[in-house]
A and B are shown apart, each in its own frame.
Chain A
Amino acid sequence: MTELIQPIFQTAAWVAIHAFVPAFIVMNAVLIAGAFLTYVERKVIGHIQLRPGPNRVGPLGLLQPLADGIKLLTKEDIIPAQADRFVFVIAPFFSLVPVIMAYAVIPWGEPTTIMGLLPWLRAFDGWGYIPPAWNPFPLVPEKATLVVSNLNIGVLYILAMSGLSAYGIILAGWGSNSKYALLGGLRSAAQVISYEIAMGLAIVGTLMLAGSLSLVDIVRAQESSFWYILAQPLGFLIFFISGIAETNRAPFDLPEAESEIVAGFHTEYSGMRFAFFFMAEYGAMVIISAMASILYLGGWLPLQLPIPSSVPAIGSALAGADGAVRAVNGALMAIPPIVWMLSKIGFFLFVYIWLRATFPRLRYDQLMHLGWKVMLPLGLANIFVTGLVILVKG
C-alpha cells in the first residue's frame, strides 16, 4: 500500500511546492496590492486636487481598503429582475480570472534563497517526527525563481490574457439588460480590440532586440546590453498609451464614463461582484506597469550610470568623476532586485493615477482615430526602423 501511495504523495507534494505555493503567494499579494492601490489612488488624486483624501480609518487612512472590503462584502447583492442571471453572475469572474492568470509569467527578481529560508526548509525533517519517505521538505528548491512559471512564450501569454479581459466587460454589459451597461460593454469591446493591435506591434520591437518571448530572457538580454527604453522610446510610448486604453483607464475610460453612461458596464452591479470588476481593473494596471518595467526598464535590474571615461564624447572632460560614479553604481547595486522591480512598477502606477487626475476624457471618435490612425502606423514604422537598424548593425 505504501509503495502505491508514496509516489503519488511525492508528486502531489512537488506540485504543491513548485506550483501551488508560488501561485497562492502571488495571487494574494496581487489582490491585497490591488486593494491598497485604491487607497493610493484616492490619496494621490486627493493631494493633486488640494484635499487630504481618505484620512479617517486608521493612521493616515491606511485601513480604508479594509473598511471598504468589509462594506463590499456585507452589501446586498442585487441581481436585476430583467437581467440574464447566469451571464450576470459569471461576468465578474470572466473579468478577474484572466488578470490573475497573467501574473503567472511575471518575473519579480533574481532567483533568491529568501535570506536562507529555503535551504533551511530543504533540510527540515520535522525535528525527527516526519518519516523520511513522507517528508516533502527536500522537494523545496534551493533557490526560488520568483516567477510562477517561466513560459517560453510569456509575452504572448500576457497578450492572450489581456485580450480575454474584454469578455467580462462585454458579458456584464449584455447580461445586465440595461442600456448604459450595454453601451459601456460595446465601447469596451471596440477599444480593447483596437488598442491590442497597437500594443502587440509596440512589443515586437523589443522582442526583435531580445530575440525571445520569455520575460525572464528579455530581462537577461537587457542585463548584457542596456535598458530597451533607450533603443525603443517610441515603442515604449505606444505600449504604455495602448496599455492605458487596454485597461480602460482615464483618459480612455469611455466604457465607464460616468457623465455619459452612469458607470458603464458595471452600472447594475453591487457588493462583491462590483468589487471583482474593480480588482480586475487594478490588477490589469499592475500587469501593464510590470510589463512596461520588464520590456523597457530592465525589470529587476538596478539602474547603472555609464562610467564617464568609457563614453567617447565626454570621456576626457569628466574623467575625474569615474570613482564617484562607480560608488553610486555600487550603492544602486546593493538594493535588492525585487525592490527595483516593485519601485519601477510603483512609478508606472503613479503615472497612471497622475494621468487620471490631469487629462480630460477623449471623445469616442478621437479614441478610434488615435488607435487606428496614429498608434498603428507608428507601431509598424517602429518595427520597420528597428529591423533596419538590426540589419545594418548585424
Chain B
Amino acid sequence: MVNLDQAFFLYFAAMIVVFSIVTITRKNPVYAVMALLVVFFHVAGLYVLLNAEFIAALQVVVYAGAILVLYLFVLMLLSVPREALGAAVHRRWPVYALVGGAAAVEIALLLARSKFAQRPGPYPPDVVREVGSTQAIGTVLFTEFLYPFEVISLVLLVAMIGAIVLTKKWTPAQGGEEGR
C-alpha cells in the first residue's frame, strides 16, 4: 500500500519519463516543446514534494515561462518544412546511444557511490520546512555559495555582451564597418 506522497511521486515520475520520450520522438518541434512543457510542470511537482516550493515556482517561471517560450518563438520563425523533418531515426544514432548510455551509467555510479548521497547539508528537510525554502535558499546562496554565485553572474554578463555584439548592426555613422 502506497501513501499519498508516494502515489504523487510515482505519478510525477511516470509522467516525466513518458513525456520526455514524447519530447524527443516528435518530428514536429512545436509538439516537442509542448511535451517538454508537461515535463517541466511535473518536475516542479517533484520539487513541491521535496518541500522546495520556491524552486518549484522558479522552475515554472524560468523554464516554462521564459526559456521554453523563447524556444517556441524561434521555432515559429524558422517554420520547419515538412519534408525536411527527416527520418524517424538519425543515421548516426549508435554514436548518440553510446554517449547517452555512458552519461547515464556515469550518473548512476556517481549517485550510488557519492558522498553527497549521505551527507546532510545545513538545511535538511525539517529545517527547510521551519524557515521556509525561500529563506533557506537565500541564506545559503548569499553566504556559503556567494563566490560561485558571482562567477555565474559574470558568465551571464559575458553571454549578454556576446548576444549584443553578434546581433547589433553597426552603421558607418556609429564608427563601425558596414553590414558586419
Contact = CB atoms under 8 A, between A and B. Distances in A.
A163 B30 contact: no
Interface string B58-75: 101100111001101100
Interface string B36-77: 010000000000000001101110110011100110110011
A84 B28 CA distance: 11
B53 A151 contact: yes
A255 to B, nearest CB: 13
B134 interface: yes
Contact of A193 (B30, B37, B53, B66): B66
A341 B19 CA distance: 41
Nearest to A156: B57
Interface in A125-183: 151-153, 156-157, 159-160, 163-164, 166-167, 170-171, 173-174, 182
Contacts, number: 71
Interface of chain B, main secondary structure = helix
Given A87-B31, A163-B69, 15 more contacts: A153-B134, A159-B65, A160-B57, A163-B65, A164-B60, A167-B72, A170-B69, A170-B76, A171-B72, A174-B30, A174-B72, A186-B73, A186-B77, A193-B69, A196-B66
A66 interface: no
Nearest to A189: B73
B61 A156 contact: yes
A180 B70 CA distance: 20
A153 B54 contact: yes
B77 to A, nearest CB: 8
A203 to B, nearest CB: 12
Interface in B1-56: 30-31, 34, 37, 53-54, 56
A185 B76 contact: yes
B76 A182 contact: yes
Contacts of B72: 167, 170-171, 174, 189
Nearest to A162: B65
Contact of B60 (A160, A185, A189): A160
A186 B70 CA distance: 10
B53 A153 contact: yes
A325 interface: no
A133 B66 CA distance: 50
Contact of A152 (B37, B69, B70, B134): B134
A370 interface: no
A159 B61 contact: yes
Contact of B69 (A87, A167, A213): A167
B79 to A, nearest CB: 9
Given A153-B134, A174-B30, A160 B64 contact: yes
Interface string A4-30: 000000000000000000000000000
A171 B64 CA distance: 14
Interface in B122-142: 132-134
Contact of B66 (A86, A157, A163, A213): A163
B30 A156 contact: no
Nearest to A197: B66
Contacts of A164: 60, 64-65
A196 B54 CA distance: 18
Nearest to B70: A193
26 contacts: A84-B30, A87-B30, A151-B53, A152-B53, A152-B132, A153-B57, A153-B133, A156-B54, A156-B57, A156-B58, A160-B57, A163-B60, A163-B61, A163-B65, A163-B66, A164-B60, A166-B65, A170-B69, A171-B30, A171-B34, A174-B30, A185-B76, A189-B69, A192-B69, A193-B69, A213-B54
Contacts of B76: 170, 173-174, 182, 185-186
State the 3 A-B residue pairs at the shortest beta-carbon distance, nearest first: A163-B65, A156-B57, A160-B60
B50 to A, nearest CB: 14
Q: Considering residues B57, B64, B72, B134, which has the most beta carbons from chain A within 10 angstroms of its beta carbon? A: B57
B39 to A, nearest CB: 14
B135 to A, nearest CB: 9
B60 A170 contact: no
Contacts of B61: 156, 159-160, 163
Contacts of B53: 151-153
B132 A160 contact: no
A335 B77 CA distance: 54
A383 to B, nearest CB: 15
Nearest to B64: A164
B65 A213 contact: no
A138 B103 CA distance: 54
Contacts of B70: 193
B46 to A, nearest CB: 16
Contacts of B134: 152-153, 213
Contact of B57 (A157, A171, A190, A196): A157
A170 B53 CA distance: 28
A167 B60 contact: no
Nearest to A173: B76
Given A87-B30, A152-B132, A167-B37, A196 B73 contact: no
Nearest to A174: B76
